């Protein structure tokens, strides 16, 4: 009798829990906390990390520091500071917790008490790291290099004057301000003195703009050197090349040595081995190809030689950390998810690479502890949290639970992995995301999601804009194919898109939507296509070739006219490699005539919503304006959502909510 009652109680409780769950909304999405990368204390007993929460009414976010005890899993918030805070580091000698606040380094006790400002430099600093001896800090700061504004006798004039390219980059105009690597002793830094810039008067940036960070610079063996990544090119040469190198700066001699002078592609992410004898880093071989295979390299400080551990493996490495001797833990895209792998090597090449994670989730970062791994994990139903992962048993335990309460009341989407045949007989992994209350006896409007990049895998990512859980919660089925040109399916699959933007990848999109549309629960009268960047380009291109499949389109920051885009974008290496070069090249690259969406506007017959940011210099705003003008001139129902202060992304909370509200309003009107 007791057993029966307990069973009924469990069923009642589970039913009520299910009933208490509600669909995700744009407002709820911005209520979720965003957890930062943790730092581990010297005893490996606690981790320290930031959590950022947004205040929609104030239209801003605030980070605070939390700590989790790795044994008890007890979580505690240890700061309550107004203003920006981040860059959590731990002094290896004193055990003090360091963080950057108001552009300076502060330190506090492990329990959050006795916080005090440690540096008092005139310039704001960031990307701070303690030396192995704990008495110095490595950091970056900004300084102006070059001529100031001319025509001082005309104080009301307002102009920008340039003699070379890279006059603007992603979302910022070049104002001759550069980020440099520097170091100082803590004793001097407390008095605002002793800042030693290791780059002198170089007009180059560390970290690399715009996506570089603390991973770009580290302390070398015994803290006697500093190793940093830098792309030491300027103007037109910078615009057409990806040739960044790793440099070693000697604190005693003040001399700088290029560690990777012969490689012409990206060299990045320097990491020192546990014994300090070896440097590992990521390396791309080809100059100008930003999505080349990332190989894992080992460089010996003793012999000055290097080896490529993954040259014979058809994988691209996204992150890594040293483990025991001849053991490196890596993260890498594979078949629709980012996995953690154990790489064993003999000093010259990888002998085995074994996956440690195989669940439907993305593992983007790995930190090696004595007995476990600390890994970040996300999925389409849950934002990033950190877990302890046993590399042998593969068991894992959550050590951050930032959004447990919120997700307890948010209904989840069903995620399905399908293999779909393409027009050339290949198999393509396609994610299908269903509404939380999916009923196969009903019919649902369905969205084809077109991925950007173009070389960026459709994985189990949790986006705060292109959020599949949110789309499904509004009653849409989402079809997200890993079309040609995405990593994780071999290098040949990844490279197929270059110079073929409107070719096989577009056919892959159509194969995916056509196959899923065969299902009885898909309403073929209500199909839409959506995407950003290359995904936005794909939407424009599909609008000219879809043969009435779709009833609605939404393009965010998409490329519309490849000729005008080439003449207004900044990093020309991307256009040169993927499009084939400038439009005045003889013979003219095929892309401009065959694959530019503006060449097919005469076929547009479907409502089009265009979204663009005024500070998007990678895909300038005029691309969206041209597309909107074309759509409206064709007599189509059209809408232009413009953000003067946003760039290639939408980053402010209230603009983000407007984005989602207008996104779903358009779909309601057109589907």
Q: Are residues 548 and 426 in the same domain?
A: yes
- List C-alpha distances in Å: 519 to 469, 477, 516: 21, 11, 6
Q: In terms of domains, do 497 and 582 share one?
A: yes
DSSP state of 251: T
The answer on 443 and 394 residing in a single domain is: no
Half-sphere exposure in the Cβ direction for 494 (13 Å, CA): 23
The pLDDT score that the predictor gives to residue 146 is 78
Average pLDDT of 605-620? 98
* Same domain (yes/no): 488, 570: yes
| CA distance linking residue 78 with residue 446, whole number of Å | 45
Active site residue 533: yes
Q: How far apart are CA 591 and CA 580, in angstroms?
A: 7
| Number of alpha carbons in the 13 Å side-chain half-sphere of residue 196 | 16
Residues 268, 251: Cα–Cα separation, whole Å: 21
| Angle at CA of residue 478, ends 472 and 479, nearest 5° | 160
Closest listed residue to residue 85, CA positions, set 55, 59, 50, 56: 50
> Percentage of the chain surpassing pLDDT 90?
95
Provide the percentage of residues in the chain whose pLDDT is more than 70. Answer: 97
292, 616, 638, 647: which one is catalytic?
Answer: 616
**Section 176-194 average pLDDT:** 97
> Distance (Å, rounded) from C-alpha 184 to C-alpha 350?
39
Question: Domain boundary residue among 349, 370, 403?
Answer: 403
Is 92 part of a structural domain of the chain?
no
Same domain, 613 and 645: yes
CATH of the domain at 501: 3.40.50.1820
Q: How many CB atoms lie under 10 A from the CB of residue 342?
A: 17
The C-alpha atoms of residue 302 and residue 578 are separated, in whole angstroms, by: 40
Which is the catalytic residue, given 533, 552, 596, 638?
Answer: 533
Q: Does 156 map to a domain?
A: no
Shared domain for 362 and 479, answered yes or no, is: no
pLDDT tier at 13, thresholds 50, 70, 90: very low
The whole-number pLDDT of residue 19 equals 52
In a domain, 263, yes or no: no
User: Both 427 and 383 in a single domain?
Assistant: no
- Asked, for residue 159, whether it belongs to a domain, the answer is no
Q: What CATH number has the domain bearing residue 326? A: 2.120.10.30
Average pLDDT, the chain: 95
**Does residue 5 have a pLDDT over 50?**
no
The sign of the torsion formed by the CA atoms of 384, 389, 391, 394 equals negative
Whether 14 shows a pLDDT value over 60: the answer reads: no
Residue 363 sits in the same domain as residue 481: no
For the chain, what is the domain count? 2
Q: Which two tokens stand for residue 37?
A: 């990368």
Question: In angstroms, what CA-CA distances link 416 with 46, 432, 481?
Answer: 37, 5, 12
pLDDT band at 8 (very low <50, low <70, confident <90, very high): very low
Q: Are the C-beta atoms of 242 and 230 separated by less than 8 Å? A: no
Q: What does the pLDDT read at residue 520?
A: 98
Q: Look up tokens 């546990």; give the residue.
A: 274
Q: Find out whether 513 and 531 touch, Cβ atoms under 8 Å.
A: no
Determine the pLDDT at residue 15. 41
Range 310-321 burial, b when 16+ CB lie within 10 A, else e = beebebbbbbbb
Confirm whether 433 is domain-assigned: yes
Lowest mean pLDDT among 144-153, 559-568, 662-671: 144-153
365/466 same-domain check: no
Q: Where among 403, 420, 435 does a domain terminate?
A: 403
Tokens representing residue 424 in the block: 């050339």
| Catalytic site includes residue 355 | no
Which helix (DSSP H) or strand (DSSP E) does residue 478 occupy?
Answer: strand 477-481
**CB neighbours (10 Å) of residue 230?**
24
- Is 556 inside any structural domain? yes
Tell which of 367, 384, 403 closes a domain.
403
User: Is 51 within 8 Å of 66 (Cβ atoms)?
Assistant: yes
* Reduced 3-state DSSP string for 381-444: CEEEEEEEECCCCCCEEECCCCCHHHHHCECCCEEEEEEEECCCCCEEEEEEEECCCCCCCCCE
Q: Clarify whether 269 is annotated catalytic.
A: no
What are the tens digits of pLDDT across the range 425-452? 999 999 999 999 999 999 999 999 999 9
Per annotation, catalytic residue among 178, 345, 556, 648: 648
Residues 354 and 379 in one domain: yes
Residue 336, domain extent: 309-403
Q: Is residue 112 part of a domain?
A: no
379 and 466 in a single domain? The answer is no
Among residues 528, 371, 508, the alpha carbon closest in space to that of 446 is found at: 528
pLDDT in tens, 41-89: 999 999 999 999 999 999 999 999 999 999 999 999 999 999 999 999 9
Q: Is residue 68 part of a domain?
A: no
> Can you give the pTM of this predicted structure?
0.95
* Same domain (yes/no): 467, 447: yes
Cα–Cα distance for residue pair 573/317, rounded to 1 Å? 22
Residue 374: the pLDDT is 98
Do the beta carbons of residue 182 and residue 226 sit within 8 Å? no
pLDDT at 1 over 90: no
């Amino acid at each position: 009798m007791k057993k029966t009652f307990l069973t009924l109680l469990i069923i009642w409780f589970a039913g009520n829990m299910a009933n208490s769950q509600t669909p995700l909304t744009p407002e709820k999405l911005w209520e979720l906390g965003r957890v930062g990368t943790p730092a581990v204390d010297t005893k490996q007993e606690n981790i320290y990390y930031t959590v950022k929460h947004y205040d929609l009414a104030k239209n801003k976010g605030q980070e605070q520091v939390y700590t989790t005890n790795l044994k008890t899993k007890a979580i505690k918030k240890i700061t309550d500071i107004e203003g920006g805070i981040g860059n959590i580091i731990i002094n290896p000698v004193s055990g003090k917790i360091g963080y950057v606040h108001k552009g300076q380094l502060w330190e506090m006790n492990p329990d959050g008490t006795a916080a005090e400002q440690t540096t008092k430099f005139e310039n704001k600093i960031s990307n701070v790291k303690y030396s192995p001896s704990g008495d110095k800090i490595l950091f970056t700061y900004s300084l102006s290099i070059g001529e100031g504004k001319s025509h001082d006798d005309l104080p009301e004039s307002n102009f920008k004057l340039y003699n070379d390219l890279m006059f603007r980059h992603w979302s910022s105009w070049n104002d001759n301000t550069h980020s440099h690597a520097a170091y100082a002793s803590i004793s001097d830094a407390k008095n605002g003195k002793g800042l030693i810039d290791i780059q002198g008067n170089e007009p180059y940036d560390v970290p690399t703009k715009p996506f570089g960070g603390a991973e770009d610079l580290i302390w070398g063996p015994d803290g006697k050197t500093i190793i940093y990544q830098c792309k030491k090119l300027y103007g037109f040469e910078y615009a057409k090349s990806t040739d960044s190198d790793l440099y070693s700066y000697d604190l005693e001699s003040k001399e700088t040595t290029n560690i990777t002078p012969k490689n012409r592609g990206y060299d990045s992410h320097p990491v020192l081995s546990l014994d300090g004898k070896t440097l590992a880093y990521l390396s791309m071989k080809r100059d100008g190809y930003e999505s080349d295979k990332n190989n894992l390299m080992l460089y010996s400080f003793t012999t000055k030689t290097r080896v490529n551990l993954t040259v014979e493996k058809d994988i691209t490495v996204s992150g890594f950390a040293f483990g025991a001797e001849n053991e490196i833990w890596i993260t890498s895209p594979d078949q629709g998810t980012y996995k953690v792998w154990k790489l064993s090597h003999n000093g010259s090449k990888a002998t085995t690479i074994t996956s440690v994670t195989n669940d439907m989730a993305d593992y983007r970062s790995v930190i090696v502890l004595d007995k476990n791994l600390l890994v970040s994990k996300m999925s389409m139903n849950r934002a990033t949290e950190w877990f302890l992962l046993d590399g042998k048993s593969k068991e894992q335990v959550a050590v951050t639970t930032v959004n447990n309460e919120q997700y307890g009341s948010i209904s989840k989407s069903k995620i399905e992995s399908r293999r779909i045949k393409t027009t050339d007989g290949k198999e393509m992994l396609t994610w299908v995301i269903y509404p939380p209350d999916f009923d196969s006896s009903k019919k649902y409007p369905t969205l084809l999601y077109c991925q950007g990049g173009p070389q960026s895998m459709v994985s189990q990512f949790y986006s705060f804009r292109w959020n599949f859980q949110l789309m499904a919660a509004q009653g849409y089925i989402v079809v997200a194919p890993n079309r040609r040109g995405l990593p994780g399916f071999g290098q040949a699959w990844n490279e197929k898109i270059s110079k073929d933007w409107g070719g096989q990848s577009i056919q892959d999109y159509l194969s995916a939507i056509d196959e899923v549309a065969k299902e009885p629960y898909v309403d073929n009268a209500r199909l839409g296509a959506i995407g950003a960047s290359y995904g936005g380009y794909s939407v424009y291109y599909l609008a000219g070739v879809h043969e009435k499949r779709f009833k609605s389109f939404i393009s965010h920051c998409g490329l519309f006219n490849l000729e005008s885009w080439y003449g207004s974008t900044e990093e020309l290496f991307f256009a040169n490699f993927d499009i084939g070069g400038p439009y005045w090249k003889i013979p003219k690259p095929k892309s401009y005539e065959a694959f530019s969406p503006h060449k097919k506007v005469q076929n547009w017959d479907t409502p089009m919503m265009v979204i663009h940011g005024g500070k998007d210099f990678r895909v300038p705003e005029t691309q969206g304006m041209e597309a909107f003008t074309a759509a409206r001139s064709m007599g189509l129902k059209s809408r232009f959502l413009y953000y003067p202060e946003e760039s290639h992304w939408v980053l402010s909370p209230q603009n983000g909510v407007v984005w989602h509200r207008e996104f779903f309003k358009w779909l309601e009107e057109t589907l």
